[in-house]
Chain A
């Protein structure tokens, strides 16, 4: 019993977990366990080079999320809310460390095409034959703001509205950024040797 009070944490909604964590702090671990794997991958995709760096960012993310748990409102999806905190913490971390956000080249799993939910949309305008190594190198070489939106759209499977909520930008701007990001990706792939 303890931190669940009869609730099944696996099937509970995010809002139910939040409400429960506010009553019983130990229940916060269910939120951490639900989101830590995907946020870890997200942090690495947007530029944390090592797993340790990503864990540091993640720790700050969950601490901050806990402190601000009462500011979460149900009109925003919890996923978008916590992704936003993770994004902001990653950006702060890069600034503090004075490093350029760049995903590690060694981890080709981060940008495996198999991870993309809608590969046709992702590859529209880009060559259809793409191996992991080329894609990873191309994603590394992209501008940060373009890589961010591509990661959120195609690897994290977020909608335009969710990306707008995460990045604190108007939805129209998100659409423009995604178009530009795909153009840049196509150019980088065209210039890179096969």
Chain B
């Protein structure tokens, strides 16, 4: 190849197509953009991690103790948030790899660093008490999110596994009447072996989640353990729960003579829960 002719061809093509070197500021902006994108993804990864902690803490740990099984993890920590966390970590990895020197870092070190960074950020968000915010934000603003990622009490509530979430309608001599998040009412007997882990004794309007054993095929339950519905106050989520529990029914209940909830057979309960 005649290098002189070849170089003349190149110059001719540059002139013919009016090509120019890209301005330096454009180069710097593109470089900064990659890093900015990596930082944004890292922040969102941190928020996703905080959400995973939120769901794990609100119900996962308790349910894990009740049923230690891998399926419990995926049942109680929404796949959406686990998936979002994994996706964002992958995006940070690809962004850093695309930077000027990012390719030089060993893959395992890079992934480890990103995971640690996200986890630290997420833990800081959790420590600041903001771990429910991403879930609340999406719940209020993203159509379809609520049906995909139910609030923790709705996920906790699995009568077939002995898990009930709801609100105390009234106390009784034996315990209390519980209205669950599905609207069903249960008579709950508090035994001497029952563990009451709320700061206040049973009273009307207290929201809680419980582990119970069912008495035969009736709507009577024996309390095993009761915990607060949320670990910390969650005004946005509790307002959403209000709409389900319909507190006006509490007022109706208090105004009417006390009556025992209608007994339902197991087939009726299973049919209704389907």
Contact = CB atoms under 8 A, between A and B. Distances in A.
A63 B10 contact: yes
A69 B19 CA distance: 12
A87 B254 CA distance: 80
For the residues of A in contact with B, the DSSP-based class is helix
B22 A29 contact: no
Contact of B22 (A25, A30, A68): A68
The 7 nearest A-B residue pairs measured at CB: A29-B7, A32-B7, A69-B21, A71-B27, A168-B103, A33-B3, A70-B24
A71 B24 CA distance: 7
Interface string A75-89: 000000000000000
Contact of A170 (B20, B24, B106): B106
Contacts of A63: 10, 13-14, 19
Given A28-B11, A170-B107, A68 B21 contact: yes
Size bin of chain B's contact surface? 20 to 34
Given A32-B3, A36-B6, A173-B107, 12 more contacts: A25-B15, A29-B8, A29-B11, A32-B10, A36-B3, A66-B10, A66-B14, A68-B22, A70-B23, A71-B22, A164-B104, A170-B107
Interface of B: 1, 3-4, 6-11, 13-15, 19-24, 27, 97, 100, 103-107
Contacts of B23: 70
Contacts of B104: 164, 170-171
A168 B22 CA distance: 22
Contact of A67 (B21, B24, B106): B21
